[in-house]
Chain A
């Protein structure tokens, strides 16, 4: 053991003097020829071959880097000025791995050795995602856990497990306080960005309290809930400032500075006269109370910018913009792969992230920002690995933007998922095999055949709609819903499984592929990031953010 330690030390010296060579092999020879101390239990050649190997050197360096970063981060624990929480909706571990390979291969690499932006974060762990009443969770319960510190039931927003789903009368008294609300009370700027409808479960959990995730506007609510005084989710977003001040008497907050996403239909009355230029429905708005919440928001914040399209987004001067309310689509925003087909144009997730940070960082006190990649989940539900993975790559791009736009010494960035999907990387494909391709075994050039004599893809789903070949021109994963379910094995011999319109085989036939119940990853960098390690209950993430910002204490001080 003592000898091994000496050997490792010698390796470091050789690396410093540049003797290890680019591939590590030259260095191996140098160690074995003249400078290797005598080994007592292992031969010098065996050890040198290990410690001079480039894989070994790179991973050892990663540990050294992590130790250095840990020391620096521990010193600044609790000193974060900003927190950014990235949530990849449905981004399980297999999704991260496959997206990493896809991005790497798009860069001309084998792919497996590539790293997504957040793969390089110094701290990571696992998250147990179950809801209080569900082994396999949904986004409402999981995001509520992340931003409140309290696990709750499936399908409910911002309330604890004492809620009865769908029963308005059980909301009162069971409301939880979120990270975003605490940040508001503490005087930080706040922002919510999502590619889903901004009233969808994940973004809604940051600002709303609802007995049902589907109460996105008043037309979605039962009459009894409306008459009992429960507010729909869109209404709660527009009234966020007054509602928060009502819950905390004496509080004086200034409201959410950045809201960007889809879901215009929940804010507009069901009046065709209120349709916007890229409405896809004959009547875009769903609201049956006649209210135009976009107009109400503008009346509340006359200096704020309400925008609906790419040109409005481009015109925003982030240094001069005090507040923005952006609803880029009637429903969910387009898939990244399909974005150029939008009628009025939509920004990408990374574009929105950059703009949001540049607006929020105008506040010297700091900011809290949630960024959701909402359509990874939808790509998987539709059985499209291409759709889900290209969304994940764009999330990684957005994280890269956040790293570029912030200072790691004062900004905690957490990247995680709310839940996983039944998505697998299977078979024994050789290194560098196209991740969307058919399995080709090590040393082979032709696709491996299964016991049924047919080739099979590396990526697949346990359940869902199954095989579809919609071609290279189809970039909308949801086009699958216009085609019949076709689960089970198919002859893929002549099918280009790497095309954007290919949907993977599925075993169990379902109209929509489902979530999965295994743990998801969490990745962190910045002050407080060292608290992210091991296997965690999902609600622990709230406490990491609270610790980094000292949020509860700051919020308490703001109250009379």
Chain B
């Protein structure tokens, strides 16, 4: 059962890569810093949500459509990462101070250090279409990752434990820079506020809600 599941995961990842305009050269010529990756996240309960990861140079954008939330990140030259959270339902943004953070976790979803701690148990293909499989035993189960090193791209992640299977699966890949730029520009017109300023904005209904009930995780 497990082996069949892994084979199927490989096939899905390979299919997404095959369908993408990545070329077949041995050396990948696609810019890994300009990527739009769409994922499906399935929980043990069967509930499925979407996650989009967009990368453009020193910027990354993670979009959660069901929650109507997005987080943008910018890597600064001093190693800090600057985050802005977008509330799509309100067309508002909250800006955070830059802080020390693992850029790879924001730009790849999977921190580089986490991948280093896993054992590579297989690989196929080359260039943009190379797929590497990693595995790690956890205290309560097993973690398996399918990874494309040339694009620094998570293809699939599976975590099995007593609760069941949680899966993050790549379902679509964009490499067209116009599309990627549009994704970053989509929220540029939102009214934006420094988090440091929200305490001075009791009269603003959106910020008042934030002050009183905390971060609007599920904006409606």
Chain A residues with a Cβ under 8 A of chain B: 138-139, 154-155, 165, 201, 213-214, 220, 270, 280-283, 286, 331-332, 341, 343, 377-378, 381-382, 476, 478-479, 481-482, 485, 509-515
Contact = CB atoms under 8 A, between A and B. Distances in A.
Given A270-B188, A478-B96, A482-B83, A280 B214 contact: no
B102 interface: no
A478 B59 CA distance: 21
Nearest to A139: B200
A298 B137 CA distance: 63
Given A281-B82, A343-B76, A512 B211 contact: yes
Contacts of A510: 211-212, 214
Given A286-B192, A481-B195, A511-B214, 7 more contacts: A154-B203, A282-B58, A282-B184, A331-B95, A381-B200, A510-B212, A510-B214
B106 to A, nearest CB: 12
A343 B202 CA distance: 32
B99 A482 contact: yes
Contacts of B83: 482
Q: Which of B98, B188, B200, B203 has the most CB of A within 10 A?
A: B200
B5 interface: no
Interface string B63-105: 0000000001010111010111000000000011111000000
Contact of B199 (A165, A476, A514): A514
B27 interface: no
Contact of B188 (A154, A280, A283): A283
A478 B188 contact: no
Nearest to A283: B188
Nearest to B216: A511
Interface in B192-209: 192, 194-196, 198-204
Contacts of B192: 286
Contacts of A382: 196
A524 B25 CA distance: 76
A479 B200 contact: no
Contact of B194 (A155, A332, A343): A332
B4 interface: no
A343 B78 contact: yes
Interface in B165-220: 184, 188, 191-192, 194-196, 198-204, 210-215
Nearest to A487: B214
A381 B199 contact: yes
A466 to B, nearest CB: 11
Contacts of A155: 203
A281 B204 CA distance: 24
Contacts of A485: 214
Nearest to B78: A343
Q: Contact residue range for chain B?
A: 35 or more
B219 to A, nearest CB: 14
Given A343-B76, A343-B77, A485-B214, A280 B98 contact: yes
A270 B199 CA distance: 26
Contacts of B74: 280-282
B188 A476 contact: no
Nearest to B201: A214
Contacts of B191: 220
A223 to B, nearest CB: 12
29 contacts: A155-B203, A220-B191, A270-B188, A281-B74, A282-B58, A282-B59, A282-B72, A282-B184, A286-B192, A331-B95, A331-B194, A332-B194, A341-B78, A343-B76, A343-B77, A377-B200, A381-B200, A476-B99, A478-B96, A479-B97, A481-B96, A481-B97, A482-B96, A511-B211, A511-B212, A512-B195, A512-B198, A512-B211, A514-B199
Contacts of A286: 192
Nearest to B185: A283
Interface string B33-59: 000000000000000000000000011
A485 B210 CA distance: 11
B213 to A, nearest CB: 8
A378 B78 CA distance: 23
Contacts of B95: 281, 331
Contacts of B188: 270, 283
A201 B200 contact: yes
Contacts of B97: 476, 478-479, 481
A280 B213 CA distance: 28
Nearest to A464: B199
Contacts of B215: 511
Q: Which of A220, A283, A478 has the most CB of B within 10 A?
A: A478
A446 B138 CA distance: 41
B212 A165 contact: no
Contacts of A482: 83, 96, 99
B214 A138 contact: no
Contacts of A331: 95, 194, 196
A410 B196 CA distance: 38
Nearest to A380: B199
B59 A332 contact: no
